[in-house]
């Protein structure tokens, strides 16, 4: 397997003082904790802050994100971007496809509609062992990758003057 190319979010100070929203699904608590740790590390390295919301599962992430973004907008606050964290493990039924496809579709629709600097760290895996490898900061660090994706889009928006 090829190693992922990771940019260093800390190399650019344009995220200093930025605040991101993390919405995490805690259906698999241990996996969720690893994903969150990776995202926290990435935001800390970039000098960015975050607010955290936890929901039961991946299908609740898009709606919770929309609610939080709407509330922030009406209260005069705003988020520089958002990150979704969670895990969907294939089972014996069609439910996996529904949850994986519909949560990803809703998150992408939300990000596009709002020009949101967004990182998707919702794992879709065959086994719990695969999820642990992808979530672990020392191995896959997909939580960190999701935060770095949101940070990269934030930097692009700042660079082109879209902030």
Q: Say whether 107 counts as a known binding-site residue.
A: no
Going by the DSSP 8-state scheme, the letter that residue 1 receives in this structure is -
Q: Say whether 92 counts as a known binding-site residue.
A: yes
Annotated catalytic residue, options 71, 95, 132, 154: 95
Q: Say whether 59 counts as a known binding-site residue.
A: yes
Q: Say whether 102 counts as a known binding-site residue.
A: no
Q: Say whether 137 counts as a known binding-site residue.
A: no
Radius of gyration over every alpha carbon of the chain, rounded to an integer in angstroms: 15
State how far the alpha carbon of 21 is from the alpha carbons of 46, 95, 120, 134, in Å: 15, 27, 12, 21
Is 95 a catalytic site residue?
A: yes
Q: Say whether 115 counts as a known binding-site residue.
A: no
State how far the alpha carbon of 8 is from the alpha carbons of 38, 42, 54, 90, 134, in Å: 13, 9, 27, 32, 19
Annotated binding site for (2S)-2-hydroxy-3-oxobutyl phosphate: 92-93, 134
Catalytic residues: 95
Q: Which residues are annotated as a binding site for 5-amino-6-(D-ribitylamino)uracil?
A: 27, 58-60, 87-89, 120
């Amino acid at each position: 397997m090829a190693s992922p190319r990771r940019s260093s979010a800390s190399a650019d100070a344009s995220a200093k003082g930025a605040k991101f929203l993390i919405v995490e699904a805690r259906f698999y608590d241990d996996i969720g904790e690893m994903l969150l740790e990776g995202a926290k590390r990435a935001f800390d390295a970039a000098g960015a802050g975050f607010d955290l919301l936890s929901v039961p599962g991946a299908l609740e992430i898009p709606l919770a994100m929309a609610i939080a973004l709407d509330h922030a907008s009406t209260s005069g606050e705003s988020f520089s971007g958002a990150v979704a964290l969670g895990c969907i493990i294939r089972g014996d039924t069609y439910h996996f496809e529904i949850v994986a496809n519909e949560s990803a579709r809703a998150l992408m629709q939300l990000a596009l509609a709002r020009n949101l600097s967004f990182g998707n760290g919702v794992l879709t895996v065959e086994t719990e062992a695969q999820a642990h490898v992808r979530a672990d900061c020392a191995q896959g660090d997909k939580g960190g990758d999701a935060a770095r994706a949101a940070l990269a889009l934030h930097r692009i928006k700042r660079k082109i003057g879209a902030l």
